[in-house]
Amino acid sequence: MQQDHLVTSAWQGLLERPGANHHIAQVYQDDSFLLEAVGHFIRAGLQQGEGVVLIMRRARWITLATQLGPQGVDLADALRRGQVRYFDAHESLASLMKDGAPDREAFQKVIGSVVGGMRRRYPAVRAFGEMVDILWHDGRRDATAELEKLWNELAAAEPFALLCAYRIDALDCAAYGGPFEGMCNAHTHLISARDYDRFNEAVSLASHDVLDQSTVMMLQSLAKKDKPRTEMPLGQAIILWLSQNMPRTAEKVLARVRAHYSGLA
């Protein structure tokens, strides 16, 4: 269920049946959260007879194959049958870069041809990629944005569902600013917490720690009114609004959110 374009349901449902035009970003600090989400995304796609394209770090591929085996998902078999296509993220990224930036022609050759081929074989296609995370942590934010743009152009021509992952601490005030907001705007959905209800409650409690009741109510109203294009938990929208408009207050609230989120576990 969605309200005011802010995600109110769990991320599991989104990853189980994403729309063909959904471009989802997951921000995480805990590898187990990423593995849980990506595993759910892959397993659901395979069970529904979809084609799955994985552009990920090799260590992540090995871990997921081991993790999904006991859940009845044989990634090696799916790879042999062609229902899964796997590519190393570092190697793929290197093959499509030119003069320090992603090259459109190379992207189409390396990635677009794979997605197009899978769409001709399967009723739907979903993809998971870590190339943007590699660029992000190399500090190449312009190249990250350009690569996301190329993904969106490809999805417009060859509709498929895409999940990207960024290792970002969503409770660190330093994470916010132009690049983070740009990253949000490049995606249709943002997954920023394992438990949306707990996250939203932690933000509400933290806001009341720092601000009076009337200001909190105004803040919630403004966060909904100025909602981003990207669908996200209400608590994340509030943090984003604060970081854009009241950065000093955002820092205080985020410090309290971390404490409350841990305490509500």
Q: Is residue 136 part of a domain?
A: yes
- State whether 40 and 96 are in the same domain: yes
Residues 226 and 149 grouped into a single domain: no
Residues of the chain with confidence (pLDDT) below 70: 1-9, 265
pLDDT of the residue at 264: 77
Pairing outcome for strands 84-88 and 51-56? parallel
C-alpha span between 10 and 191 (Å, rounded): 9
The predicted pLDDT at position 9 comes to 58
Q: Number of folded domains in the chain? A: 2
What pLDDT does residue 3 have?
A: 39
Same domain? For 89 and 34 the reply is yes
**9 domain-assigned:** no
What is the pLDDT at residue 224?
A: 84
202-223 pLDDT, tens digit each: 999 999 999 999 999 999 999 8
155: containing domain: 30-167
155 and 60 in a single domain? The answer is: yes
In DSSP notation, 73-93 reads --HHHHHHHTSEEEEEHHHHH
Listed residues 167, 186, 219: the one ending a domain: 167
Q: Is residue 138 part of a domain?
A: yes
Determine, yes or no, domain membership for 249. yes
Whether residues 57 and 157 fall in one domain? yes
Residue 99 domain-assigned?
Answer: yes
Same-domain check for residues 154 and 201: no
My answer on whether 96 and 153 are in the same domain is: yes
Is 183 part of any domain?
no
pTM: 0.92
Same domain, residue pair 202 and 244: yes
- pLDDT score for 86: 98
In a domain, 190, yes or no: no
Identify the domain boundary among 167, 185, 207: 167
Measured distance CA(186)–CA(196) in Å, rounded: 21
Q: Are residues 83 and 155 in the same domain?
A: yes
Would you state the pLDDT for residue 265?
62
- Residue 5 is predicted with a pLDDT of 42
Q: Residue 70 falls within a domain, yes or no? A: yes
Looking at the structure, tell me whether residues 138 and 205 fall in a common domain. Answer: no
- The rounded radius of gyration (Å) of the Cα atoms in the chain is 19
How, if at all, do strands 161-167 and 125-129 pair? parallel
